[in-house]
A and B are shown apart, each in its own frame.
Chain A
């Protein structure tokens, strides 16, 4: 398993380069001094400080020695000292890092403080400090660099072992009376070994560069010994005579440093990322479907949102996958329309696309997509800004992440007036305070000067709604506006949305997975499943009038005061299909108790089934059938059989 991972890593360009580079360095370090040792020492007074020539590819130094041979021979010294320094650094880091576990609380905290103090200093400064103490030679420099890189290793070990020490098996071992040293050796170290190896490899690269720096300054390796840093320093002195003598050791240092870095990356890729990347879901591209539900409801002259055959597709492994597939809907002025569906039903994408805010990777197409009379798809960004800037407002699911954390709330509201109405900054702020008052935020003047993190969740969502009121919205799109909120706050936000609708006359398009939320403020409900609208009905028909088995299952899963407490809540078994996995026929068929061969082969289209009601179903269920006592046959029945499945069920604020 593990060897397989390493072998796979070797086949990547990164791994292959790292392996080849490491091998080359190893061979050079072993064979270099044997092969070129004599050439590197051979002085030739006749050809001192020569520029590159046929005999000496990189020229000669001030004693006529061949620069290339010296660079190659110096591989052993340079790598050996760097690895030695790294080993010292790791050993010290392990000691300092595990000491807090071994020592008691107070001493341990002091060690942590010491490490934190040392980490604040650049390694080179520490190396200079220790080099003074340990003396100016290879051994002293190795110790100095080892001690200089130790603090960062210690910090790493501390962080890692602290996370391991908190785990259950370590606690269990501690309770079982396992000694502290044994605890470290048996339980802590093996579990932090892998990240440590990765960091050690990269650390070796850093040590190599640091050593080159010290030797270059004359504080490391002393003559007659030489490493790359020393050669670089000597070469720099004669850079006018022979630049190659300075560049060659420099290139060697950079290449070796890169090899260590690549090796570290490879180790990280093999050790760190444990989960193999699974095949990207989605291959079956479903066949062309007949366009469903051409005739749109609510297409009167006062329509603020007119969507005809909207399709939103994403690039998939083969072809595209349609997250929204032929949706047609309309919202009249001042109307409140809800879209209900499970996660992944395409309801949020429908809303975002309607506002022209679909993600960049999505392909949006529609026969018609008009918002407030503006054709969204045919308009440029600037045109949309001019014509929709103040007439469409959005309220998003999570007010915590939807407000800019580094900007005061008043300013975030005020910039809308500045941009779209050309007001001054002060006027924008004044209007922002006024809108915050409208949405019942106490002490709006003070609140406008605060940052979002100083607001509570409910207040942030109020501020978002106030943001929408900065213009003169004809349509307010609220995408799961209560989902991220505390249950007690949900009702207040819904009430506020309803008030806003009444006071401003704006139409509302409310997206929710919770049919109970939608029924509280909407006039009309659209039920989406797998990228399509499966039923559309007035909200007062929800109670007993729904005909699509999916809608009925959604309604059945909402508990109310009469729901028996000793019976498990109703859920819908199974989960909706991925957009890329849809097979022909009705997408709900696999989860539907009433499905037959017709359902599985042919997709039903949205057809009028009653006054202002349409459904896409081959077997629409009539209200009588519910009262006929077939509740036990509800699709999926009562749940409890598969707890891991995600039901489209939530509790509502009404229960409180």
Chain B
């Protein structure tokens, strides 16, 4: 009703500004216009990824050299004979100049050689290949579970509490969600074990053995993020419900479910994606703690064991895997965001 425009900037006068476009020509839905920004976006983003991966690789390489004192002496203990320490340093190449070590580290990476475990003598790449699938499975199941809980819950809560309805439900949901999302995954894991494994005996306490062994670790990992996401989604959906274009949809007199499905939900979900990406990254690392609660035979167990045993080549390898996974996840989220939101940054130069 206000006299002034809600948007400060002056609109572009609508001159017929597309003289070049042939009438009815081009690809349907303006794909011909999209392809260009997409190529630019992906090139730029991949270049950034490459730089980031390079930084992560360098950091993991330097990690072992930043440890005060002699890492081999620290690993083998003070009582280890000096010649054993010396021969181990030799085999790890620690006596070479730093730059030579760096070059051979990089060269090894290109051939898939991540070094050899100081404890077991197994190639690090072999250990990672053995452990990674369990972690990836746990992480992706947990992410799917979190989304499967958060999306219907958040949207339903938004609809139930719209226009200030059901204050009681709103208070109950927001406070439960706040508390749930504040409980870290490993504490939740311990509580779940105590109740559902030890007291009730419904699920196995630990280990990976059949479908029932997945339930508690996945829940421990998924519940907190699910509640956090549901909370954000509710707020976003309430915001969208107040948007002018939802009023337009109502003015079109679409059935209510169509208003929600086409006009409210897509816009609410799009604005939730950025947060969703952060949650996904945090969940990936959350597997470290949850795997240790449930003795899950994945990378998270490996990284903690290797740190405790000072098995540095293995530590380096696993940190590298976690670090690059985070980078690739971030890229994936950016791409999904670009597809989902036509106004996203991909169109910027």
Contact = CB atoms under 8 A, between A and B. Distances in A.
Mutual binders A and B? yes
B26 A250 contact: no
Nearest to B263: A404
B304 A219 contact: yes
A642 interface: no
Q: Which 4 A-B pairs have the closest CB atoms?
A: A457-B11, A458-B14, A449-B29, A394-B251
Given A212-B184, A239-B205, A357-B251, A117 B55 contact: yes
Between A246, A443, A455, the greatest number of chain B beta carbons within 10 A of the residue's beta carbon is seen for A443
Given A121-B326, A239-B194, A398-B5, A451 B342 contact: yes
A456 B342 CA distance: 16
Contact of B7 (A132, A484, A650): A484
A136 B342 contact: no
A489 B14 contact: yes
Nearest to A484: B5
Interface string B155-199: 000000011100000000000000100111011001101100011
A513 B3 contact: yes
Contacts of B12: 456-457, 486
B342 A389 contact: no
Contacts of B96: none
B248 A402 contact: yes
Contacts of A456: 11-15, 17
B323 A125 contact: yes
Contact of B3 (A250, A403, A483): A483
A498 interface: no
B322 interface: yes
B315 interface: yes
B14 A450 contact: no
A621 interface: no
Contacts of A646: 3
B210 interface: no
Interface string B283-325: 0111011001100000000011001100010010001001100
5 contacts: A236-B190, A257-B184, A394-B248, A396-B248, A398-B244
B5 A459 contact: no
B253 A420 contact: yes
Given A124-B285, A446-B26, A243 B341 contact: no
A19 to B, nearest CB: 19
Interface stretch (B59-67, B78-86, B99-107, B136-144): B59-67
Between B63, B191, B245, B292, the greatest number of chain A beta carbons within 10 A of the residue's beta carbon is seen for B245
Interface stretch (B113-121, B125-133, B215-223, B254-262): B254-262
Contact of A445 (B24, B267, B286): B24
Interface in A111-150: 117, 120-122, 124-125, 128-129, 131-133, 135-136
A413 to B, nearest CB: 9
A78 interface: no
Nearest to A241: B198
Interface of B: 1-7, 10-18, 21, 23-26, 28-30, 52, 55, 59, 63, 66-68, 162-164, 179, 182-184, 186-187, 190-191, 193-194, 198-199, 205, 243-245, 247-256, 258, 262-263, 266-267, 270, 281-282, 284-286, 288-289, 292-293, 303-304, 307-308, 312, 315, 319, 322-323, 326-327, 330, 340-343
Given A122-B285, A128-B288, A219-B304, A443 B23 contact: yes
Interface of A: 117, 120-122, 124-125, 128-129, 131-133, 135-136, 205, 209, 212-213, 216-219, 232, 235-236, 239-240, 243, 246-247, 250, 253-254, 257-258, 261, 342-344, 347-349, 355, 357, 359-361, 381-382, 384-385, 388-389, 393-394, 396-398, 400-408, 415-416, 419-420, 442-443, 445-446, 449-451, 453-459, 462, 464, 467, 480, 483-486, 488-489, 492, 513, 646, 650
Contacts of B13: 456, 458, 486, 488-489
Contact of B244 (A243, A258, A349, A396): A396
A125 B285 contact: yes
A402 B3 CA distance: 17
Contact of B266 (A258, A261, A406): A406
A513 B4 CA distance: 10
Contacts of B187: 212, 232, 250, 253-254
Contacts of B16: 442
A51 to B, nearest CB: 12
Given A120-B327, A396-B248, A458-B14, A419 B288 contact: no
A408 to B, nearest CB: 6
Contacts of B262: 404, 407, 415
Between B248, B250, B315, the greatest number of chain A beta carbons within 10 A of the residue's beta carbon is seen for B248
Contacts of B162: 360
Contacts of B270: 406
B322 A401 contact: no
B289 A217 contact: yes
A569 to B, nearest CB: 15
A453 B347 CA distance: 11
Given A458-B13, A492-B14, A122 B252 contact: no
Between B52, B307, B315, the greatest number of chain A beta carbons within 10 A of the residue's beta carbon is seen for B307
Given A357-B250, A404-B267, A443-B21, A129 B319 contact: yes
Contacts of B164: 361
A243 B194 contact: yes
Given A400-B11, A406-B267, 12 more contacts: A121-B323, A125-B326, A135-B68, A384-B253, A398-B5, A400-B6, A407-B266, A446-B24, A486-B11, A486-B12, A486-B13, A489-B11
Contacts of B28: 449
A355 to B, nearest CB: 7
A495 to B, nearest CB: 13
Nearest to B51: A117
Given A124-B286, A407-B262, A459-B14, A396 B7 contact: no
A445 B251 CA distance: 25
Contacts of B323: 121, 125
Contacts of B23: 443, 445
Contacts of A396: 244, 247-248, 251
Nearest to B60: A129
Contacts of B205: 239-240
A187 to B, nearest CB: 29
A320 B4 CA distance: 28
